[in-house]
Structure 1
Amino acid sequence: MDITIYFEEAAQVSFAFIIGAVIGLEREFRSKPAGLRTMILICVGSCLYTILSKETGNGSPDRIASNIVTGIGFIGAGVIFKEGISVNGLTTAALIWITAALGMAIGYHNYPLTIVVSGMVLIALFVLEPVQRFINSLHRVKDYRIHTIEVAPNFKSALEAFFAEHDMKFRCIKVMKVDSDAIYLYRISSPDRNYDAINQFLLKNTDVRSFDT
């Protein structure tokens, strides 16, 4: 038995360890649900499954690949959660998916592609973040979920009068009643992007129990 095969495979999983650690460090730095250890285990595990699928030689290798993708889908779904009207964890879920793909690429000895894609991932995580923040600052439309104390019959008219006074376009998307409280979903467009004025209005309004954007 050629022992060099084992050294080669050990080098593959070691490389997968490094790639997973590099991606995981960024998630760990930002205190995300899937951090350093998770990304390492995903990359190394995907690489190992790919190596084993080639060694068994039974059936089609793409069956192992498809099962890896299915399993990673369950992990990715676990880090996505909805908070108010916002959905968080999509970037982490996408990173889990691509980290598994990188581990599979290493398992198939496709090192050049692994390095290129890893570089793209790091660019997307570090370089493009300021660009995304700049684009977000240009957004003229925001969705507000406003939870009022009891029904607060005068709140809706006062809020919409505030919008009109500040030349803001708005649309009441939905009104819901929860127990004795009311929840309003508004889509607001501010021409000068002065959403702090809205926040201050809601913070000072005694009829507002809570709100989020």
Structure 2
Amino acid sequence: MGPAEFHIANQDLIKIGVAILCGGILGIERQYKNKTAGFRTIILICLGSAIFTLIAQRAGLGVNINVITGVGFIGAGVIFKDDIAVTGLTTAAVIWISAAIGMAVGAGDYLLGIISSVVTIVVLTTFHLLENYLDKIHHDRLYVVIFDDTEYDHLINLEDRARAHNLKVRIVRVNKQNDNLHAAVMVIGHKKHINKLSQELLITPHIKSF
């Protein structure tokens, strides 16, 4: 084996090692939070992306589109939707960026891969505090209100009560069923104010349930 070949082999080993390191950094955070794609999965995605990039470079090709397509399928597999919420979006995003980091490392840009891993960890571990604060000041809740008669004035009264608590109101749906008025009402604002409105609605006349 000549010096040039040995040098190339060493570079490949370094790339594989850095890809495992970067994937491990992200994988530990996902594993700690008991997410669908954990420690081993993120490492394998990062490593696989680096290897595909190495192969593409040796073949004289550009960005391997198969990496992007494959990561898309894996990411879609961790997203779940039910009647209440969509979950798994953050894990899918981590899968996506871990593949990008692996491709960067495979292309020989170690610094970009390591810095991106650190920045991603900072976003995952600290930005949720800002997210929680934003959720408090801009929270939304859907009330499905059933009134004890069909008078539309009761709905207007509910809107006035919500606005009195500095909440935005949006009427999603209104219909009459039997002798009752049914309304789906979305309120948006500070979580504290929404909770106060909920307490007030418990003792508001003409409201059977919400």
TM range, smaller chain: 0.7 to 0.9
Aligned runs of 1:127-146 on 2, under 5 Å?
A: 127-139=126-138, 141-144=139-142, 146=144
Determine which of 31, 39, 43 is the counterpart of 1:28. Answer: 31
Partner of 1:14: 17
Aligned runs of 1:102-121 on 2, under 5 Å?
A: 102-121=101-120
Compared CA separation, residues 193 and 16, structure 1 to 2 (3 A)? same
1:127 shift after superposition: 2.5
**Identity over the aligned pairs, expressed in percent?**
33
Partner of 2:188: 189
1:162 shift after superposition: 5.0
Q: Is the 8 A contact 2:20 2:46 kept in 1?
A: yes
The alignment status of 1:89 with 2:83, answered yes or no, reads no
Q: Which runs of 5+ in 2 are unaligned?
A: 176-181
Aligned runs of 1:41-60 on 2, under 5 Å?
A: 41-57=44-60, 60=61
Which one has a bigger Cα radius of gyration? 2
Compared CA separation, residues 89 and 184, structure 1 to 2 (3 A)? farther
1:91 shift after superposition: 1.7
Q: Aligned residue pairs: how many? A: 195
1:191 shift after superposition: 6.1
Q: Is the 8 A contact 1:80 1:87 kept in 2?
A: yes
Q: CA RMSD in A?
A: 3.4
1:70 shift after superposition: 1.3
Secondary structure in structure 1 of the residue aligned to 2:36: coil
Question: Within 1, Cα distance between the matches of 2:62 and 2:190?
Answer: 55
Q: Is the 8 A contact 2:140 2:187 kept in 1?
A: yes
Residue by residue over 1:66-85, the C-alpha shift from the partner in whole angstroms, topping out at 9 and shown as x without a partner, is 22111111111122222334
Q: Is the 8 A contact 2:20 2:43 kept in 1?
A: yes
